Amino acid sequence: MLIRLIVPGEIARVEDLNTSLEAVLTRHGIDAGVRGDVRLIVEELASNAIEYGGGGGADRGQHELSVDIGMDGDLLTLRFRDEGAPFDPLSAQTPDLEADILDRPIGGLGLYLIRQIAESMHYERTDDCNLLRVSLRVPTPENPQ
Amino acid sequence: MSLQTEFPPVAGSLRIGIVPLAGGSLRVTLAGRLDTHSYQELDAALAPLVHGQLQSLVLDLADLEYISSAGIRSIFKARKALGGHGGKVLLVNPQAQIQKVLDVVKAVPMHEIFVSTAEADAYLDAMQRKVLHADEDEDE
């Protein structure tokens, strides 16, 4: 694992997550294209978890978001963990891309973007937490994208 | 009383420049990141501009590094506001990450994305001529 970050579930803290992840990825020589994908995935998933995770509920208290990132061969894997309401982003409906974007449900667009960009995704609900794993293929000299 | 926070505020990740063009058009240059933290700045900057007489809004994305779904929605909001009176939003110079996102969401018909401002200017000129000719036709 390259790094694990835990922040309060607040929109303003999503940028802190991304700033830290970007620094780590840059240090490991990950190219700008993949860094952009990571930024997008983190922003969309974290915003979604904060807005729809029900973290603001008094009974749940302030929830936290945990993100860790690791490399295995040419696969970069992000793992998200939050204590919000159960939500499987993989079950979200595919938005109607022909419909007016403002008429589409908020959130649907971001999740759709991630599903298109990710190499693979896996969701599970464990110990009252949402766990989501998102993998990206990192271009290598032998296998450029 | 002010509360000291551990992190600096994230505001300021987007820089917006507004340049009036001839013929009821406007060029808005975006630099930095258009995302969940900054889209409201763009919405606020565009809101007073996208009404009434504005025919074309050219969003120059040459210095925009990053866009997320929140930013896409902002562009569409402007597009809808202009569309109400037949105006258009043109995107020029999209960088790689932005082009990728636009491609995935099919956000904008491809003929409204221009790789250079010169290309967009030529398009605007052509549109302008079309409007002038239409006026002439009405007189006939």
Contact B68/A102, CB-based, under 8 Å?
A: no
Q: Is residue A145 part of a domain?
A: no
Looking at residue A54, its pLDDT comes to 59
pLDDT band at B136, cuts 50/70/90? low
Express each pLDDT in B86-119 by its tens digit: 888 999 999 999 999 998 887 667 678 888 888 8
Looking at residue B34, its pLDDT comes to 97
Tokens of B103: 């491609």
Contact A44/B69, CB-based, under 8 Å?
A: yes
Contact B101/A113, CB-based, under 8 Å?
A: yes
Tokens of A101: 């974007």
Q: Is residue A56 part of a domain?
A: yes
What stretches of chain A show up as alpha helix (H) in DSSP?
Answer: 11-27, 32-52, 108-117
3-state secondary structure of B90: strand
- For domain B14-139, the CATH superfamily is STAS domain (3.30.750.24)
Residues B61 and B34 sit within 8 Å (Cβ to Cβ):
no
Which of A15, A20, A1 has the alpha carbon at shortest distance from A69? A1
Rounded to a whole number of angstroms, the distance from the CA of B85 to the nearest CA of chain A is 17
pLDDT band at A92, cuts 50/70/90? confident
Rounded to a whole number of angstroms, the distance from the CA of B120 to the nearest CA of chain A is 24
Full residue range of the structural domain in which residue A112 is found? 3-137
Express each pLDDT in B37-61 by its tens digit: 999 999 999 999 987 888 899 999 9
Rounded to a whole number of angstroms, the distance from the CA of A45 to the nearest CA of chain B is 11
Looking at residue B84, its pLDDT comes to 83
Q: What is the ipTM of this complex?
A: 0.86
pLDDT higher than 50, residue A58: no
Express each pLDDT in B16-40 by its tens digit: 999 988 878 899 999 999 999 999 9
Looking at residue A105, its pLDDT comes to 58
pLDDT band at A11, cuts 50/70/90? confident
Number of domains in chain A: 1
Looking at residue A4, its pLDDT comes to 93
Q: Is residue A68 part of a domain?
A: yes
Entry pTM: 0.84
Tally C-beta pairs within 8 A across A and B: 69
Q: Is residue A142 part of a domain?
A: no
**What are the domain boundaries of chain B?**
14-139
pLDDT higher than 50, residue B62: yes
Instruction: Please work out, in degrees rounded to the nearest 5, the angle formed at the alpha carbon of residue B38 by the alpha carbons of B36 and B39.
Output: 75
Q: Is residue A127 part of a domain?
A: yes
Q: Is residue A52 part of a domain?
A: yes
Q: Residue A83 belongs to a domain with what CATH number? A: 3.30.565.10
Determine how many CB atoms are found less than 10 A away from the CB of residue B139.
5
- Residues of chain A with a CB closer than 8 angstroms to some CB in chain B: 11-16, 32-33, 36, 39-40, 43-44, 47, 97-98, 100-102, 106, 109-110, 112-113, 116-117
Q: Is residue A143 part of a domain?
A: no
Residues B114 and B90 sit within 8 Å (Cβ to Cβ):
yes
- Which distant-in-sequence residues (6+ apart) come within 8 Å of A106 by Cβ? A51, B73
